[in-house]
Amino acid sequence: MPSIFQRYDLIGLIKLTISWIVTKVLFRPARLIRVPYYIRGKNSISWGSGFTTGVGVRLDAFSSSNLKTKLIVIGERVQINDYVHIGAIESIRIGNDVLIASKVFISDHNHGRYNQADDMSSPDIPPAARPLFSSPVIIEDRVWIGENVCIMPGVTIGTGAIIGAGSVVTHNILAECIAAGVPAKVIKRYNRELKEWLSV
C-alpha cells in the first residue's frame, strides 16, 4: 500500500490537511469531508463515524419545520465520492458501509406530481413554480452505487444491492441484486448456495 506521500503531491497534501482540520472542527464524527463542499440545512443532517466524502459534495436538507428532525441520515463508514448531490425535503436514509461513486444524484422530491392528475403540475406551469412533492428514499446497508446514477423519490434499495453506472432508479431494488439501465432493472441476483451472482 503506497504511503500518503506517494499518493499525493505537495498541493494535494495541503488540500488534504485543510480538509482534515475542517472535518475535525466542524464535522465530527466524520472521517474526512473534503473541501470544497456545499451543505445547506446542516442541523437537519446527521452522519456516523467514518463518513468520508470526495470534493464538491452537495447536501441539501430543506425546510424542516421541526429543527430536531433529521431529513438526511447517513450511517457508519459511508463513503460518497466527488460531486455527489443529495437533496431532501422529507427523508433520505443511507445505511452502514454504503459506497457511492462520483456524480450521483439522490432526491426525495420533485417539482410537481407526475403519477396522478394535478393541475399545478401541468406543462403550462413553469417547473420552478410547481409545488414540491416528496416520498422517502431508503438505501440499506452495504449498497454500492455506481458513477452517474440517479435515485428518484420513493425508492428503497435493499441490503447488499449494486446499482450499475449511469442507471436511473425509479422503483425499489431488492436486496442482493444488481440493477442497471434506464430505468434500472434487476439483471443479477446473488445465490448464497453457489456464492455467485447469477443472471436473471
- For the stretch 159-185, pLDDT in tens is 999 999 999 999 999 999 999 999 999
111 is catalytic: yes
pLDDT at 5 over 80: no
pLDDT value of position 64: 57
Question: Model's pTM, two decimal places?
Answer: 0.91
For residues 47 and 80, is the Cβ–Cβ distance under 8 A?
no
State the CATH number of the domain containing residue 99.
Answer: 2.160.10.10
H-helix segments, 39-89: none
Output b/e per residue, 153-176; b: 16+ Cβ within 10 A: bbbbbbebbbbbeebebeeebebb
Average pLDDT over residues 40-50: 94
pLDDT at 33 over 90: yes
For residues 140 and 163, is the Cβ–Cβ distance under 8 A?
no
- Give residue 67's pLDDT band: very low, low, confident or very high (50, 70, 90): low
Range of the domain at 193: 4-199
pLDDT value of position 115: 84
Average pLDDT over residues 125-133: 94
pLDDT at 81 over 90: yes
- Quote the number of domains for the chain: 1
Of 85, 109, 111, 171, the catalytic one is 111
Q: Give strand pairing partners of 59.
A: 39, 86
Residues whose CB is less than 8 angstroms from the CB of residue 68 and which lie 6 or more positions away in sequence, other chains included: none
Phi, psi dihedral angles at 35 (to 5 degrees): -90, 140
